[in-house]
Amino acid sequence: MTSGPVASRTGAAWLLLALTLATAVVLALQPQLRSVATVTAGVLSVGAILLGVAWHRPKALAWPFLALMIAAWTVSAVLVYAQGRIETPAVALVWFGQAIAAAVTVHAVVTGEKQTGRSSTAWLDGVLIATVGLLVGVQIVAAETIGSTNWTTVVVASVDVALMSMLVRFAVSRRVMGPASLLVLAAAFVAIVYDLSSAVQGRRVALPGETSQILAVVFMLMFGAAALHPSMVDAFGSGTFARRRRPSTALLGLLPLVLVPSGVAWVADASGAENLPPWMVPGAGAVIAGLCLLRGSDALRSSEYLAEHDPLTDLANRRGLARAFEETPAGRDLSLLLIDIDEFKQVNDTHGHDVGDALLLQLRDRLVRATGSSGLAARLGGDEFVVLAPASEAAGVAERFLNSLQDPVVVEGLVLRTGASVGIAEASEDMPLAELLTHADVAMYAAKAAGGSRAMVFHPQMRIEVARCFTLSSQIRQLLGNDNPDVGRLEIKYQPLVDLRTGEMVGGEALVRWQHPDHGLLAPDAFLGLVNSNNLDAELDAAVLHDVLTQLARWRDQGLPILPISVNLTRDSLEDPRLADRVLAALSALGLPTSALRLEITEHDQLSAETPAQHTLAVLDAAGVLVYLDDYGTGYTSLDYLHRFPVHMLKLDRSVVTSLDSGQVQLVAAVSAMAATLDLEILAEGIETPDQRDQLLELGIHYGQGYLFSRPLTAGQYAQTVLGPAERPGEGPTVPGPRAARTPESSH
């Protein structure tokens, strides 16, 4: 709803416009009042413009100049009314006002042309406008050369014809103009009609009582109404000039320019300057018409270019790719590379689409450099790129592009790392583009399923694997929705967490497996990617938390001790503002202490500052549910996470622990020193040898997990080995239905 002050100013604008119409009707009936009304309208308009400037504070200087223009015309009208005739001072004031109007119009035209996107279009538009101006100049010079007695009339009327054509062109070619802009355009048009009607009668201003004074009242008050409307702030803004209509519609704006020669001829005839060169009108008309045809051709080429190119990256789009493929010489060995940027959606969701677009532009530059001059790079949409290249160079293009992604991309101060999955397909004779894209898509999907950041060449066997992945995707949906018991079950396994100083087991991490009816026990790497690609992370997390807490309650009811179990949470769950309430409600309903649950977040799930995750984890931490940071040492946002989130333990990634054998001890020592400074504990994942354990202890790391201590255990095995001497009656080794937590397979 419009606020009070703004609504009142809008009402004042429309009231003044209504006053304009009412005054025009009165003047049409009462000629003796026209001169007084003209002066009154001028004073009201100047006051309205100054008031509008004070109210709305526009940045454009055009409004004060308009007030000065109307003030000059008003004083001129006063002089004519007082003297009863037109004298030199009155004419001089009209010329002064018209000079201001011409300056404002030229400024608007120049500003509008600067907003034209393509340089060739801007150049042709400039030539067109310059040609119209030249025609007017030739008309004026010709009238002076032949000694026309109506030279002033020719000058004024010719300029008015040109200005009118520019106004109509602007009105046709621009879109989404506010009420103030429309009122200014209408007022300017009426003002030109008024000036033109006076000029063709051999005068610079209307005499008292003339009908044209009605037009003066109308355009003055319309300028005032425009200034009072809140949209006057944008009336002369560059944004208004930049908002062009579609090229096909904007081309209609050239029609007024084509009509200028005819208007100039009419001026010559009306002013009595019959001796103007007879070749001028048809010659100028032919030149302007020819320029309009060139401008139309340029607009058509521009439309064709836009139709075949991506608006963001300026690479070929699907249509442009199809044209390039069709124009490839017969018999040329050709390959197509389909490139999908890994985890691009996460960048978009975390940092926004502006950052995502900026990332795409930098990736485009790297892809173009990798492609070179012998291939064609295209963008199909989203984060999918395509390259057409000679078959002998396809592997090299993929390798160069993937190598370029090893360097991070810096966007607005953010350091982003990304990879790509590349599918390569070689075209055979008479193979259509659609089939070639399908082959490349299959290969790309296989590369992504293999872990991403790699290129794979299509072979027919891949179709079988892709079909298998599609089947598993359908089944995982059924599994999480409890729709079909024939798709198997998710099985929880628990890997103990150990105090390296004493060997005591102090808790566990819940891991997930899929007991599939056809493929047996599937490791996380075989299906977690499908869960993510089908946007099922939150559903799986919800089932995970329910089942882990249910299992903890079952162990408690069997008299077994409660050791904390850690569960991984994905970004989708952490962005749910209701997560903390649901977790605490579930613990309360089962009668479990909050210390029984640990939540693990990972560096790879980029969480923006706008998400509710920070508040959610702070609430859970205050209630006693501690937070672990998983996969530490492999990501690039860990320091930020330590600052934003209430992390109590760093889980050192298995790859870092393995690197101890390669002499990367200093890295682990630095992490240990930092953790001690921040009062954090460290747990090392993937410990497999006593030497690794001893090295970690020497570096100050007190907790660990890995095959050295235990492989992941079923619920029954975990209860017997970690919690008590024997499995209790009624406790099963698995939990039916979609119940589990998960962690990468590298955690064993």
Q: What is the 3-state secondary structure (H, E, C) of 115-173?
A: CCCCHHHHHHHHHHHHHHHHHHHHHHHHHHHCCCCCHHHHHHHHHHHHHHHHHHHHHHH
Per-residue confidence (pLDDT) for residue 730, from 0 to 100: 39
CB 418 within 8 A of CB 361: no
Taking only the tens place, the pLDDT of each residue in 677-704 is: 888 999 999 999 999 999 999 999 999 9
With residue 509 as reference, give the H or E element that holds it: strand 505-516
Instruction: Choose among 41, 104, 102: nearest CA to 73.
Output: 41
Per-residue confidence (pLDDT) for residue 733, from 0 to 100: 35
Q: Which has the minimum average pLDDT: 65-74, 187-196, 375-384?
A: 187-196
Average pLDDT over residues 15-30: 70
Higher pLDDT, 331 or 746: 331
Rounded Cα distance between 113 and 129, Å, is 10
Q: HSE, CB side, 13 Å, CA atoms: give it for residue 523.
A: 7
Percent with pLDDT over 70 in the chain: 73
Q: Which has the minimum average pLDDT: 13-27, 139-153, 341-355?
A: 139-153
Average pLDDT over residues 717-729: 73
Could you state, in order of their start, the residue ranges of all structural domains in the chain? 4-302, 318-459, 473-724
Rounded Cα distance between 217 and 187, Å, is 10
| Cα-trace Rg, the chain | 39
Q: How many CB atoms lie within 10 A of CB 61?
A: 12
Q: Which has the minimum average pLDDT: 224-238, 291-305, 331-345, 420-434?
A: 291-305
How far is residue 559 from each of residues 456, 591, 665, 735, measured CA to CA in Å?
54, 14, 43, 19
Residues ≥6 apart with Cβ < 8 Å to 670: none
Per-residue confidence (pLDDT) for residue 637, from 0 to 100: 47
Higher pLDDT, 514 or 530: 514
Instruction: Choose among 232, 226, 236: nearest CA to 13.
Output: 226
Parallel/antiparallel/unpaired status of strands 681-684 and 703-704: parallel
CATH code that applies to domain 473-724: 3.20.20.450
Per-residue confidence (pLDDT) for residue 112, from 0 to 100: 58
Helices (H) and strands (E) in the chain, counts: 29, 16
Per-residue confidence (pLDDT) for residue 138, from 0 to 100: 58
Q: Pseudo-torsion of CA 683, 685, 688, 690, nearest 10°?
A: -10
Q: What is the pLDDT of the chain when averaged over all its residues?
A: 78
Q: 425 - beta bridge partners? A: 336
Q: Where does the pLDDT of residue 542 fall: very low under 50, low under 70, confident under 90, or very high at 90 and above?
A: confident
Supply the DSSP symbol for 663: T
CB 179 within 8 A of CB 232: no
Euclidean distance between the first and final Cα of the chain, in Å?
60
Instruction: Choose among 712, 708, 664: nearest CA to 686.
Output: 708
Taking only the tens place, the pLDDT of each residue in 204-237 is: 677 777 777 788 888 888 888 888 888 888 777 6
CATH code that applies to domain 318-459: 3.30.70.270
The amino acid sitting at 190 is: V
DSSP, residue by residue, 354-399: HHHHHHHHHHHHHHHHHH-TTSEEEEEETTEEEEEEEGGGHHHHHH
Residue in the block written with tokens 């007024």: 256
Which segment, 236-245, 304-313, 320-329, is predicted with the most confidence on average? 320-329
How far is residue 284 from each of residues 161, 165, 270, 278, measured CA to CA in Å?
14, 15, 19, 11
Q: Which has the minimum average pLDDT: 246-260, 601-615, 633-647?
A: 246-260
Rounded Cα distance between 5 and 745, Å, is 64
Say if residue 647's pLDDT is above 80.
yes
Taking only the tens place, the pLDDT of each residue in 3-15 is: 555 566 666 667 7
Domains 318-459 and 473-724 alike in fold: no
Per-residue confidence (pLDDT) for residue 428, from 0 to 100: 85
Say if residue 748's pLDDT is above 50.
no
Say if residue 95's pLDDT is above 60.
yes
Per-residue confidence (pLDDT) for residue 561, from 0 to 100: 92
Higher pLDDT, 128 or 446: 446
Say if residue 630's pLDDT is above 80.
yes
Average pLDDT over residues 320-324: 90
Taking only the tens place, the pLDDT of each residue in 330-366 is: 657 899 999 999 878 778 777 788 888 999 999 999 9
Per-residue confidence (pLDDT) for residue 337, from 0 to 100: 94
Rounded Cα distance between 724 and 281, Å, is 106
Beta strands per DSSP E along 23-135: none
Per-residue confidence (pLDDT) for residue 731, from 0 to 100: 40
Rounded Cα distance between 570 and 429, Å, is 47
Per-residue confidence (pLDDT) for residue 235, from 0 to 100: 78
Q: Where does the pLDDT of residue 134 fall: very low under 50, low under 70, confident under 90, or very high at 90 and above?
A: low
Higher pLDDT, 419 or 60: 419
